[in-house]
Amino acid sequence: MRIQNLAIIFIIIMLPIALVFLYYIDAQRNTIELQISYDAKLDNATEATIQAFQMNTANSSTSDIVNSKIRDIEAAANSFFTALATDFNLAGYNSDALKGYVPALVFTMYDGFYIYSPFENTLDEETANNLATNPSAEYHADEQVTGLKPYIYYSCRYKTGNIDVVITYSLDNYITIQGTANGKYINDAGYLINNITNINESAETLTYRGVTIGKESALSEYIGDERFTYIKINGAKYYYDASANGGSGDWFQLLNGERIYPQGAFNSVENDMAYRYYKEAADFRNRIFNEYQLGNLKASDAVDSNGQPLQALTDADGNVIYDFINQGDYKIFAYQENGISIEEPNSNFNQHRMAVIRYVIESNLSVALANYNSYRGNIEYNFQMPKLAEEDWDNILNNVSVISFLQGLSIGGKMYNGYSVINNNINEEVVTENSIYITTTDGYFHKITSTELPTANNLDRGVFNIDFTKKNYYEDDGTIHYYHPQTHLGCYHCYVLQNSNTIVDNVYKYLDSISTTDTGKKVASLYYTALGRERYSMYKVFRNPTEHKALFAP
């Protein structure tokens, strides 16, 4: 056979194969491009969600109250679907159509989380009776609605011997204990902190990690162009207006941009919140060991709702991350172990705390996504929990976050199954170790790890990062004004360029290392004072607001 004939036969055989192969490569390229495009659209919508939540809570003085928080979260969820529909508009999907492909939105909060997803409406008896006479009511029994499901706490049950307690964890070292131990009923809460010594109740001073903590001068911030002294109690700020009440002075609260008088009387001349934070933590430790006798409670005592030991927590590849059963002799309330204090990020307590939070989120979210299959309508897709990357879990376990899921959309060669995790590092929900900045007398604020910090004499105060964000208030005529409560400017090198910050994994050890100098000790003092003040001032469900507020009357 001549070579020309062989060439023709080769072309006849290989050309269809090459065309099919090129078509396959092109289809794969289109699929990857769509995957990347949809990932970006989902990230953008999730970013819009967290920004809406941040803006709503920053300008709402009632954002820590449950009803107000639910309102803010629902508004943020609406922002998600609006942003998602805008990005997907050219792809032919509107907001209503896209809702069918979003099995859940998750809002992780300070001590629990909300899941925004479809559910069947269940009416109480009173509402059901009202419907009999008002058939045009907004909701009906067994109607499918989309909204926030009940709040789920980061809780874990522990059972051993005569101890049966539930511990609720948070994004910091605050816990709530409920249950029975040694015949005693427990309903208590507090911060777990080591290294508290030299408590002087009469002078209201103590020592924490070698730094003296006591009263600090009165706090003040701007509302518009006026600067007011204030005190923050249980998440609410109360301002003193010396010109009010005919010049006699009065206290007001800024509620959704409007001043509300009067609010009672408070002693804000010297702020002792930081002292209370550490003193109450020391008292809480004493109750845990002496009154409740929980010192021997172990991580391996954790059980599920059926009383069975918790199974090991694994990553996306099946590798064991945390084995609840085989934690050996590790005790939950080990305040000092291997030179590491309980409040430090690498302590055994914090590893256990994060494992519990992840276990609660994963188990509840898996059920929610699996149950969504009964609500999916005509969408031919099996909705299920995707594998979240470990770096995403690190962000979820340490910050207020939004987790969004988008599944079931066709992207050519496969069905899209994506998720997005976006954090909110500036919020009223939690005061993390990175939430405190140091102000200086020259009008700037710095991160505590900045090499641009001036000498001790020029250091002023530790300030919560949210107090540098823009807020608004309303005049009597309805005119809106924007302002910054604290007018310091961010250090260009440490805040803008971020090229003068020392990278540290453990803020506590870092401050220990620099406390050998006067400047370092002053930084540590300002930081620990601000951290204690802001954490103590946060809203806590466990407190009785009226009784707590009464503690600060003059």
Phi/psi class of residue 451: alpha, beta or left (left: φ > 0; alpha: ψ in -120 to 50)? Answer: alpha
Long-range contacts for 217-226 (Cβ within 8 Å, ≥24 apart)?
A: 217/270, 217/271, 218/268, 218/269, 218/270, 218/271, 219/268, 219/271, 221/467, 221/485, 221/486, 222/483, 222/484, 222/485, 222/486, 222/487, 223/254, 223/473, 223/483, 223/485, 224/473, 224/481, 224/483, 225/483
Residue-wise pLDDT tens digits, 222-253: 998 899 999 999 988 999 999 998 889 999 99
**Least confident interval from 182-186, 370-374, 377-381, 471-475:** 377-381
- Residue 5: per-residue pLDDT: 59
- Residue 382: per-residue pLDDT: 80
Q: State how far the Cα of 402 lies from the Cα of 531, in Å rounded to an integer.
A: 25
The pTM of the full predicted model, rounded to 2 decimals, is 0.89
- Residue 6's CB is within 10 A of a number of other CB atoms, namely 10
Q: Is the pLDDT of residue 332 over 50?
A: yes
- Residue 63: per-residue pLDDT: 45
Greatest mean pLDDT among 448-452, 501-505, 508-512: 508-512
Q: State how far the Cα of 352 lies from the Cα of 332, in Å rounded to an integer.
A: 8
Q: Is the pLDDT of residue 381 over 70?
A: yes
Computed from CA positions of residues 46, 48, 54, 59, in that sequence, does the dihedral angle turn out positive or negative?
Answer: negative
Residue-wise pLDDT tens digits, 33-81: 778 888 898 999 999 999 888 877 766 655 456 667 888 888 889 899 8
- Residue 220: per-residue pLDDT: 94
- Residue 500: per-residue pLDDT: 82
Q: Is the pLDDT of residue 432 over 50?
A: yes
3-class SS of residue 309: strand
Q: State how far the Cα of 55 lies from the Cα of 45, in Å rounded to an integer.
A: 15
Residue with tokens 């200086």: 440
Q: What angle do CA 549, 551, 554 make, to 5 degrees?
A: 100
- Residue 255: per-residue pLDDT: 82
